Structure 1
Amino acid sequence: MAGVKTIIVLSFILAIGFILVILSSALYHNYLTLLVVATYVLAPVPNWICSKAQNNDDFMDSGSSSVVELGRFLTGFFVVMGIALPVVLAHTEQIRIEAMVMSIVGGLLIYSTIISFTMFFREQEEF
């Protein structure tokens, strides 16, 4: 059971992630690294939509559904894009290497906090 301390710690980590991404753009006067925030905010959306669209039938449970697998694939795509986008921008010299590192670390903190929130506050199904 998650309590108030869990919420405070996860909120603090989320704030650090956002601060790192914002500083990566503000310190080096290039705001392309803010695109990472969009990818990490959009990353859990396909998983959430596809899990709601899944047909929950107790009698015909075949293990996995193609809709759920599509949601996991799109979520993985967004997470990899959130890491690869700053690397590509740094490789093409659109942003500095320091901004790339700060953006990747901040983005990973943001996404890991989102995953932790969903793990700690998942509702248990009753049968």
Structure 2
Amino acid sequence: MAAGLKTIILLSFVLALGFLLVILSCALFANWLPLLVALTFVFAPLPNALCTRCAGQDDFSADYNSAYVDFGNWLTSGTVVMGFALPITLAHAGVIHETAGLMSIVGGALVYGTILTYSGFFSDSGDDLF
């Protein structure tokens, strides 16, 4: 599937909408803790990207070494779960408003989904999707 200018424009719109929701969840309720959710979703694909670079053939074995990829998937899944659990926990504890927690979850999911979609459309091979 060829990605063109319309894809880039749509992805940038969705990314801007995600960041807008996260910033509004902070600004409307005068509490900037939900901004941590955006950071977790932005940094979530990094373990997969780094561990995929480390995986591959090594000097001792001609087989594919997937331990690095599995570890990267584990770290990424933990970071994504933390991105959803952090605002729920903060809202349950009364540190942030429930609406702010919901807005930050939706905004963070849009940011992470945009990163995944971008890497899927613009990767060199078809199976590099995080």
- TM exceeding 0.5: yes
Say which structure, 1 or 2, has more relative contact order (CA 8 Å, 6+ apart).
1
Letter paired with 1:73: W
Q: Distance in 2 between matches of 1:68 and 1:14?
A: 26
| 1:37 positional shift | 1.1
Partner of 1:60: 62
Shift of 1:77: 0.6
Return the offset for 1:60: 2.8
Residue pairs, 1:39-118, within 5 angstroms: 39-56=40-57, 60-62=62-64, 65-118=66-119
TM-score, with length taken from structure 2 = 0.90
Distance 1:21 1:6 in 2: 23
Offset, 1:41:
1.1
Structure 1 unaligned blocks of 5 or more? none
Structure with greater proportional helix content: 1
1:5 alignment partner AA: K
Structure 2, unmatched stretches of 5+, are none
Provide the rounded CA distance (Å) in 2 between the counterparts of 1:113 and 1:31: 23
Q: In 2, distance between residues paired with 1:98 and 1:124?
A: 40
Percent of paired sites with the same residue: 51
Q: Secondary structure at the match of 1:31?
A: coil
Runs of 4+ in 1 over 2 A off after TM superposition: 59-62
Distance 2:37 2:125 in 1: 32
Amino acid at match of 1:7: I
Q: Secondary structure at 1:32's aligned position in 2?
A: coil
The alignment covers a number of residue pairs equal to 123
Further displaced range: 64-73 or 29-38? 64-73
Q: Distance in 2 between matches of 1:68 and 1:124?
A: 16
What is the Cα-based RMSD across aligned positions, in Å? 1.5
